[in-house]
Structures are given as structure tokens and as C-alpha cells.
Chains A and B, each alone.
Chain A
Amino acid sequence: MSKVDLSVKIGDLFLRNPIMLASGTVGYGSEISEFTDLNTIGGIVTKSLSLKPRKGNPPQRIAETPAGMLNAIGLANVGVEEFIKSKIPFLKKFDVPLICNIAASSVEEYVECTKILTSEETIKAFEINVSCPNVKEGGLQFGNDVKAVGKVTEKVRVATSKPIIIKLSPNVSYISEFAEVVKKEGGDAVSAINTLVGTTFDINTRKPKIFNINGGLSGPAIKPIALAKVLEISRKVDIPVIGTGGIMNWKDVIEFMIVGSSAVQIGTLNFIDPTAPGKIVKELVDYCLQKGITKISDLTSSYLIDE
């Protein structure tokens, strides 16, 4: 038996370790399962689901930038119904908490999706995406508006008794105001952060490299911003935070936990090394043993800041 307790709790959601796979970076689990044993990770978050299937944006959808990438996938997904029919049976085979991420273009659609999915036993929690920068409706239209985020949280809260996590946008001045309203309206936790709005142009053609013009920036380039946002929330609001943004290795995980994360999500790294999540879990054990840490959850908000 491992002498280190890696388990963490996010509200009522119990994870065997703090490593989750981020929405939109592992599809619905099947491809990544060839590289990382899903039974060894803390949780898997689905690609954002909407009520009806979405085709997503035309190409080009991605562009590489220094230490990061821009994406404008446009929430391409199979829709709630098809997800239940063809994706859940595969995910059921694993002993891993399944968190369904939902993206919608109206409060009613968020509620409708949650109601349909909540009866699926395999689904252990919901992550509500109010922060996708790549769609015209929904997405940032909600994510930038404290009242709208409050409303979505309130209504989804009524639709399910399972834990709800609101995934926040970093494209705001004070992210803690959003975490505050999530807490007030009965949300269990927040995920921070989704991608940052960015763009890139081809200097020869003078055209945007991405069809959508703007995309969401992810990868190591955004890590310092993500850390600052997590820290801001953890210092101002008493709500569990799932830290996300630019994690490339176990050290980044520790750093995210120190600034206030109860758990973390790995995103872009899955594209580069899909074996990384499993490896990081093992490396966290080594780190804890070396540092004499018996419970990894003790790291959460363990920052030392001289006031």
C-alpha cells in the first residue's frame, strides 16, 4: 500500500488523486485510454456537450504559438443523446469518476442538458462551461457576466443533486467575483481557468491563421496567469478550486495545489504526451514521500505569503 494518501475531495466529489483530464483535450476517453490507464487517474472531464450535436468551426482550428497553442474548435461535439448512447458504455468500463462538461447557448439549454444527463449513474459531477471563447452564443457571453454566471449556477443547481463545478473564464478583471457568485448560488467548486482569447496572423498573407480569427490560448504560456487566478480565488472565496492551465509536469501540479487548487486538470499536455497523466500520478507519490507529505490534500492553499 502506498504510504501517501493522494485522495482529494471537491465538495462531495471524491477523487482517488488530484489529476483530472481537462475538457476538450481527451474527447470522450477512448483514444487516450490507449496511453493512460483511466483507472489510475483522478477523474475525466468530457468534451463540452450541448443539447444537439455541434459541427464546430471550419478549418483552420488550431495554430501553435510560443509555448502554447490557439484553438477555435467551436465546441464540436456529438450532443447529449449520442453521448449517452455511444460514449457512456465505453466510459462505464472504467473505475474513474466521469465529469460531464456542458456548454450551452441559453440558461434553459444548460438546465435541459443537466436534467437529461443527471439520471446517468456513471456521471459523478457536472462541469458547466461558461467560458468557451470560440462560439458566438453562450461561452463568453455568459462567462463575462457575473449575473449570468449566477443565474446558470442557480438553475443548474435545481436540476441536479450531483456536484456542480463552474468552469470560469480568465478573460475577466476579477475572477474571484465569479467564484463568489458560484458559491452563493450553490455551486460546489470552480475550475480555473479556461483558455485566454488570443489571435495570430500570417505576415505574408495578412490573414488570421485561424478561421474564427480569435482562438483560446492554452499550454505553458498561460500557466502564470492561471496560477494568479487560482490564488486570487483561494484568497478571497471559500470554495474548492480545480486548477487548470499549462500543466506540463508534476512540479506544475504541486505549484497549482500550493496556490489553492484542490485538484488539477491536464489539457494541452495530453496532445503532446498522452502517457503524461499516468506518469504524473506516480511522480506525485515520489514527491510526497521525499517531502514527508502523508496527505496530498494538505498542499492545497499551503502557500506562505508574507503580509
Chain B
Amino acid sequence: MFIIESPIVEKKILQDNVFLLKMHSPEIASVIKPAQFLNIRVSSESYPLLRRPFSVCDVEGEHIYLLFNIFGEGTRILAGKSSGDLIDILGPLGNGFNLNDDYETAVIVAGGLGSAPFPFVTRELNDNKEIISFIGGRTSKDVITYGMKNVFTASDDGSSGFKGSVVELLNSKIEELQKKNIKVFGCGPTPMLKALKEFCVKHNIVCEVSAECAMACGFGICQGCPIESTNNSEKYLLVCNDGPVFNVRDVVI
């Protein structure tokens, strides 16, 4: 965990309102794991005041990538940065996916900006495991498949791939999937994660999800990011420190 300033080396607009920032950050690149996150201060002014958490999207040598859309004031400022600008980063934070367990096929399930951590997951798994990626969004504009392999898409309006939710798409492939030794990795909006949990519990599938939560500090000092645990009703888990990745059975979504 450090605080460092890393320069932007490239900014790309991937699609409508989806940005990719490449930064030179050898310190972070050498230690960060898929689905760990960075808490970024976009401005040294008092507004916006707090850092903003971003999942690491990819790592390539000494470079790290962030993927985001303009959602509020913080992301608007970040999107306005250009090559050479320094980004104030606190990280790496959180636990990250467990990619090395005993399974043969990684099933990636992402909704909207929930695609962010998966290019790095795909890179890390490359050659070791088979990957199948199910990517959803409201419309084709929200379906982000950047950096992913073996992709099936879903959209609410049918403008990209399957018409319906990404979990419905997953459900339509259940027979094929059940023939394999799979582990599901999910990230996306809460309703999607809820549906994914139901699906995985019903079909007895191992699943880790990366949860989202409003955060202030990102490293355990503010208690701002609780998530209900299924194992201990007396105490919340913290998304920033105990997560953001949880076994889907350990948390109430």
C-alpha cells in the first residue's frame, strides 16, 4: 500500500463514454493483483474531496490501466486529464480474485462497468485456464468487451447479442457449463450480482464476486463500506479491507 503519483501515458476513448487510462506505475504494476483497486485523488482542491476507488483494469509491464465512464464530478475531472498529467494513487487496496484454485474453466460474468477488472483477469489466466466471458449492459453502448476472450454478450434491448440480462444469458448455457469444471468470477451492478448469486447457489457453482460500495478511505479506517456477512450477523465485513472480492456465499447481496 503506497501513495504515489503516476503519469498518464495514454488516454483512449474505447466507446461512448468509456475511457481507458494508461499510467506508468512500476511500483503498483509489480504488486497488484486482479480485482484489487486503487483509490485515486482526482484533484488537490476540496471538491471533489474524497478519493475515488477504481478497479485495476489491466497491467502490462510497468504500466497499469484504468477503465471508467463519466459518472460524476470526479470521473469528469479524470476524463479531462491528458498524457503527462500525474495521478495521485493510493493502493493497491483490497484482496483480489483467487485465480489459482482447482477449476478448469473461468466463467467471467460482467455487467456494464463491471467489465473493468477482467482484462487483467484474462491476461493472468491466459494459457492456464479456459475462459468464457459473458458481458452484459443495458444497450450495446454499455457492453464493454475490451481485453476479453471468448465473449458472449447480452443487452436489455437486444442491441448487442442476447436480449435480456447477462445472468439469463448464462442460464441459457447452463447445460454446456455443467459439463465443465468451472468457477464464476462476477462484477457489476448489485441487481446483477444478486441474480448471479441465486444462479450459482441454485446450480451449485463456485463463484467469487467483486462488490461495490461507497468508500471514503479505501483501507479500513472510516468504517464507511459495510457489507452484511452470512456467517456472522453481529458484525459487518468491510468491502475495502475484507473484499472487494467475496465468495458469493459469504455475503448478503
Chain A partners chain B? yes
B68 part of interface (Cβ distance < 8 Å): no
Residue from A61, A219, A248, A273 whose CB has the most chain B CB atoms within 10 Å: A61
B235 / chain A contacts, CB cutoff of 8 Å: 53, 55
B79 to chain A, nearest CB (A): 18
- Chain A residue contacts of B226, Cβ below 8 A: 56-59, 61, 76
In the complex, the chain B residue whose C-beta lies closest to that of A210 is B214
Residues of A within 8 A of B14 (CB): none
Cα of A34 to Cα of B48 in the assembled complex, Å: 25
Known A55-B234, A55-B236, A68-B49: A271·B216 in contact at CB below 8 Å: yes
Q: Does A63 make an interface contact (CB < 8 A)?
A: yes
Q: Chain A: interface secondary structure?
A: loop
Q: Provide the residues of chain A in CB contact with B220, threshold 8 Å.
A: 27, 31
A73 to B234, CA, bound (A): 15
A71 on the B face (CB < 8 A): yes
B225: which A residues are within 8 A, CB to CB?
59, 61-62
| Interface membership of A66, Cβ < 8 A | yes
Nearest Cβ on chain A to B194's Cβ, whole angstroms: 14
Q: Is B99 an interface residue (CB 8 A)?
A: no
Closest chain B residue, CB of each to CB of A221 = B46
Q: When the two chains form the complex, which single residue of B49, B213, B214, B228 contacts A272, counting CB atoms closer than 8 Å?
A: B49
Given A31-B219, A73-B224, CB of A220 within 8 Å of CB of B214:
no
* Contact A64 B49, beta carbon cutoff 8 Å: yes
Considering the chains assembled together, what is the distance between the CA atoms of A11 and B84 in angstroms? 51
- Docked CA distance A62–B50 (Å): 11
B47 touches A66 (CB 8 A): yes
Report how far A71 CA is from B234 CA in the complex, Å.
21
Is A268 on the interface with B (CB-CB < 8 A)?
yes
Among residues of A, the one whose C-beta sits closest to the C-beta of B72 is A64
Task: Give the interface size class of chain A.
Answer: 35 or more
Chain A's closest residue to B228 (CB) is: A58
Q: Give Cα A299 to B188, complex, Å.
A: 52
State which of B1, B47, B48, B51 has its C-beta within 8 Å of the C-beta of A271: B51
How far, in angstroms, from A273 to B224 measured CA to CA in the complex?
16
- Contact across chains for A219 and B221 when beta carbons are under 8 A apart: no
Interface size band for B: 20 to 34
Whether, in the assembled complex, A7 has its beta carbon less than 8 Å from a beta carbon of chain B, the answer is no
The answer to whether the Cβ of B223 comes within 8 Å of any Cβ in the partner chain is yes
Q: Given A66-B47, A67-B46, are A274 and B221 also a contact pair (CB < 8 Å)?
A: yes
Let me know if A270 is at the binding interface, CB within 8 A. yes
Is B86 located at the chain interface by the 8 A CB criterion?
Answer: no
- B239 — nearest CB in chain A belongs to which residue? A59
Would you call A25 and B222 a contact (CB within 8 A)?
A: yes
How far apart sit A71 and B221, CA to CA, in the bound complex (Å)?
Answer: 13
The smallest beta-carbon distance between B123 and chain A, in angstroms, is 29
Nearest-CB distance from A193 to chain B (Å)?
18
Interface membership of A32, Cβ < 8 A:
yes
Interface contact A62-B3, CB-CB below 8 Å: no
Tell me if B49 and A219 are in contact (CB < 8 A). yes
A275 in the interface, Cβ–Cβ < 8 Å?
Answer: yes
Interchain CA distance A165-B213 in the complex, whole Å? 34
Min distance, Cβ B226 to any Cβ of chain A, angstroms: 5
B47 touches A71 (CB 8 A): no
Contact of B223 with A76 in the complex, beta carbons under 8 Å = yes
Q: With an 8 A cutoff between CB atoms, is B41 at the interface?
A: yes
Task: Give the chain B neighbours of A91 by CB distance below 8 A.
Answer: none
Q: Which residues of A contact B1 (CB under 8 A)?
A: 34
Q: Does A69 contact B (CB under 8 A)?
A: yes
Q: Are A59 and B227 in contact (CB-based, < 8 A)?
A: yes
* Nearest CB in chain A to that of B73: its residue: A64
The 8 A CB mask of B143-180 against A (1 = contact, 0 = none) is 00000000000000000000000000000000000000
Q: Which of A31, A32, A270, A275 counts the most B-chain CB atoms under 10 A from its CB?
A: A31
Flag if A271 contacts B217 (CB, 8 Å): yes
Which among B214, B221, B236 is the interface contact of A63 at CB below 8 angstroms? B214
State whether B41 touches A61 (Cβ < 8 A): no
A209, closest chain B residue (CB): B214
Which residues in B have their C-beta under 8 angstroms from that of A58?
Answer: 226, 228
Q: Do the beta carbons of B41 and A26 come within 8 Å of each other?
A: no
Q: Complex Cα distance A284/B91, Å?
A: 28
The answer to whether B214 and A62 touch across the interface, beta carbons within 8 angstroms, is yes
State A275–B216 Cα separation when bound (angstroms): 15
Q: Which residues of chain B are near A94, meaning CB under 8 Å?
A: none
Q: Of residues 41 to 66 in B, which have CB atoms within 8 Å of A's CB atoms?
A: 41, 46-51
- A74–B59 Cα distance when bound, in Å, is 38
Taking the closest CB of chain B, its distance from the CB of A103, in whole angstroms, is: 13
Q: Write the B193-236 contact mask toward A (1 if CB under 8 angstroms, else 0).
A: 00000000000000000000111110111111111100000111
Q: Pick the 5 closest A-B CB pairs, nearest first.
A: A271-B217, A62-B224, A67-B46, A220-B46, A271-B216
14 A-B pairs with CB atoms under 8 Å apart are: A25-B222, A26-B221, A31-B221, A35-B3, A47-B223, A53-B235, A55-B234, A55-B236, A56-B226, A59-B225, A61-B214, A64-B49, A66-B47, A219-B49
Given contacts A27-B221, A34-B1, A275-B3, 14 further A-B contacts (CB under 8 A): A35-B3, A55-B234, A55-B235, A57-B226, A58-B226, A59-B214, A61-B224, A62-B224, A73-B224, A76-B236, A270-B217, A271-B222, A272-B49, A274-B221
